[in-house]
Amino acid sequence: MEVPELRDAAARAAETGGRVVREGAGGRLVPEDKGLPGDYVTEIDRASERAIREVLEAATPGVPVLGEEGGGEPADRRWVVDPLDGTTNFVHGFWAVGVSVALVEDGAPVAGAVHAPFLGVTWIASRGEGARRRRGEGVAEPIRVSDRLPDRAVVGTGFPFRHQERVPRYLAAFNAAFERFEDLRRPGAAALDLAWVADGTFDGFFELGLSIWDVAAGALLIREAGGIVTDWDGGDGWLGGDILAGPSAVHAELLQVARPGRPSGP
């Protein structure tokens, strides 16, 4: 399959998972604790992942799938899937949740989609082909990161609740970001946060301790929409979950936030 076809397969899979999530809303949910306070899984997470796997396995036989709930084997070329990003939001009836699907090859995402099932929006991207946003059944329109100045920027973030040892570094960055930017937001679904950076709704994003399925599709969207994505040291290790993202000017400020004393610039 060509890369745009892989992008379309990612979108179909994400939207299929999104239908499962939408249909499961409002029912009696029994969240299971995955080991940390606020880290939950429900049967809807698992059902969404099963549906996504079926789509991907039919579209790309032989390409393995790594899912947040079902796991998977290491591979140089694989799909990575978050079937319900924002499970705590979902359990509480706060509909800022997303479904994220990306194909990662040799350590870089090449095709992906993020779907917001309760907003009816899908963001799609493929390497070298740009990023787009589709509302409902409409035509997918090109998107770009914002051009707002850092002092007018609204920047998304998330708390490293799974990694308490990183809280001091995060809080130092949070305090610095609060002083540098106009405002901060924490909706609680990183895949959506990244998609909102790609389409200019947010002006940047920073978080520590995420997983590959949280960031792969959203980071590709941002890169294809003209933004910059790095880890907190300015390197390429962001698939490991420590991520800074935004337009060039905001990203430069985020590097300052994450690494006090670092000179400004990409």
Confidence of residue 73 (pLDDT cuts 50, 70, 90): confident
Quick one: pLDDT at residue 266?
A: 38
Q: How confident is the model at residue 265 (pLDDT cuts 50, 70, 90)?
A: very low
- With bands split at pLDDT 50, 70 and 90, how would you rate the model's confidence at 33? confident
- Enumerate domains of the chain plus CATH numbers: 3-142 (3.30.540.10), 150-258 (3.40.190.80)
Give the model confidence (pLDDT) of 77-108 as tens digits: 999 999 999 999 999 999 999 999 999 999 99
What is the SS3 string spanning 18-65? HHHHHHHCCCCCCCEECCCCCCEECHHHHHHHHHHHHHHHHHCCCCCE
**Torsion sign across C-alpha atoms 253, 255, 261, 265:** negative
With H, G, I as helix, E, B as strand and everything else as coil, classify residue 9: helix
Q: pLDDT tens across 163-184, in order?
A: 888 899 999 999 999 999 999 9
pLDDT of residue 233: 95
Name the band, by pLDDT with cuts 50, 70 and 90, for residue 115.
very high
- Check residue 35 and give its pLDDT: 65
Write the burial class of residue 94 (CB in 10 Å: 0-12 exposed, 13-18 middle, 19+ buried): middle
pLDDT at 261 over 60: no
Average pLDDT over residues 233-252: 97
